[in-house]
Structure 1
Amino acid sequence: MRDDIQIELAIDIPDANDILPYLHGMKEIATVVLRHCGISTGAASLAFTDDSTIQSLNKIHRGLDEITDVLSFSNNYEGEYYGSEKGCLARDFEGQFVLPPGELFQIGEVLISVPQAGRQAKENGINIEAELVKLVAHGFLHLLGYDHTEPRERLEMEKMEKDIIQKASRHD
């Protein structure tokens, strides 16, 4: 079995200079999350965007017309839709996609609002890098089906985030 995880980065913000030094570390955190959860092969995207883009995507895909810090779009797990009109989560396709030889399975995509991450970092008294690390870990756990709607789930997810961040910091 091939051991290959690929994280593709996308930056969709006008001034990315504040986060450029941290991008390699963000890919590393994403990889640690996947390996921690037993994923050894696959590809995922990690995008850094602005408030208006994430708010628009949140409204379309979750029915929530508000800014959020992180959104995850998994190819394996369907998220919750909170709006009154039908959202984009209805999946009619029951089959499995066939990948061309050599192509990695697409795990999904995580998007992070950099301005929201900055506000949260300030509120939490930490730097933007530490907040982005938390959000990448959090978003990739969502990508793998973890949630925090129930108190038990929240505690499990928070513990996993801490364990993953500690594991990643030992690899530096």
Structure 2
Amino acid sequence: MSIEVSNESGIDVSENELISVARFVIAKMDVNPGAELSMVLLDTPAMADLHVRWMDLPGPTDVMSFPMDELEPGGRPDSPEPGPSMLGDIVLCPEFAAKQAETAGHSLGHELALLTVHGVLHLLGYDHAEPNEEKEMFALQRELLEEWVADQVASYHQDRQSEKDRRLLDKSQFFDHP
């Protein structure tokens, strides 16, 4: 899976965390592991410009998704087996997201992870224009984010335990020599 991040926002964010959450969602949604994704982080004026040009809505927004390849279950009967595809682009605005994070009472990293999940789901065809679509998409978004956070916590604890084990084994070498 190839995920490229281009940070043009001027705000320092963890690109590794964005890649981690995107990779997690793509894998959980059973997308071909060879799929490609591009993520761009923009400043507020650039995001406002995109928002007007593509959505005809004034002002900046938090996330926009631009799907590339049309994903159809099974594809056309005369097409070759489905393979890796370019999912599309997710555009995030960390400055806008920071304001939302403050209002919601969580970190910018959490907000950007949430927006990344949201963006990937849009690339996979989920929408929230209708109430039933919103309910489905937001429930899935919440579930995926919670699973990713739990996975991150488990990895952190495993890394800490591995480090403790390594230190203990290092100390035990003194018992091998008289």
TM-score in terms of structure 1 length:
0.75
Specify the alignment match of 1:96 in structure 2. none
Specify the alignment match of 1:142 in structure 2. 122
Specify the alignment match of 1:11 in structure 2. 7
Q: Deviation at 1:38? A: 1.6
Give, in whole Å, the separation in 1 of the partners of 2:131 and 2:84.
Answer: 35
Segments of structure 2 that go 5 or more residues without pairing to the other structure are 71-82, 153-178
Specify the alignment match of 1:164 in structure 2. 144
Identity %: 26
Counterpart check, 1:52 vs 2:48: no
Give, in whole Å, the separation in 1 of the partners of 2:61 and 2:24.
Answer: 24
Residues 45 and 108, structure 1, Cα contact 8 Å, conserved in 2: yes
Higher relative contact order (CA 8 A, sep 6+): 1
Counterpart check, 1:131 vs 2:111: yes
Which of residues 119, 125, 128 is equivalent to 2:99?
A: 119
Single out whichever of 131-140 and 59-68 deviates more from structure 2. Answer: 59-68
Give, in whole Å, the separation in 2 of the partners of 1:28 and 1:163.
Answer: 16
Q: CA RMSD in A?
A: 1.6
Question: What is the aligned residue count?
Answer: 139
Specify the alignment match of 2:173 in structure 1. none
Specify the alignment match of 2:86 in structure 1. 106
Give, in whole Å, the separation in 1 of the partners of 2:111 and 2:97.
Answer: 6
Specify the alignment match of 1:72 in structure 2. 65
Give, in whole Å, the separation in 2 of the partners of 1:146 and 1:114.
Answer: 23
Show structure 1 runs of 4+ deviating over 4 A.
Answer: none
Residues 69 and 85, structure 2, Cα contact 8 Å, conserved in 1: no
Give, in whole Å, the separation in 2 of the partners of 1:58 and 1:157.
Answer: 21
Kindly provide the amino acid, as one letter, of the partner of residue 19 in structure 2.
K
Q: Deviation at 1:35? A: 1.6
Kindly provide the amino acid, as one letter, of the partner of residue 51 in structure 1.
T
Counterpart check, 1:43 vs 2:36: yes
Q: Deviation at 1:11? A: 0.3
> Highest Rg: 1 or 2?
2
Segments of structure 1 that go 5 or more residues without pairing to the other structure are 78-102
Q: Deviation at 1:104? A: 5.0
1:44-76 per-residue CA deviation (whole Å, 9 max, x = no partner) reads 111111111111111111111221110000013
Specify the alignment match of 2:170 in structure 1. none
1:121-151 per-residue CA deviation (whole Å, 9 max, x = no partner) reads 0111111111111111011111111100111
The 5-angstrom pairing of residues 85-100 of structure 1 reads none
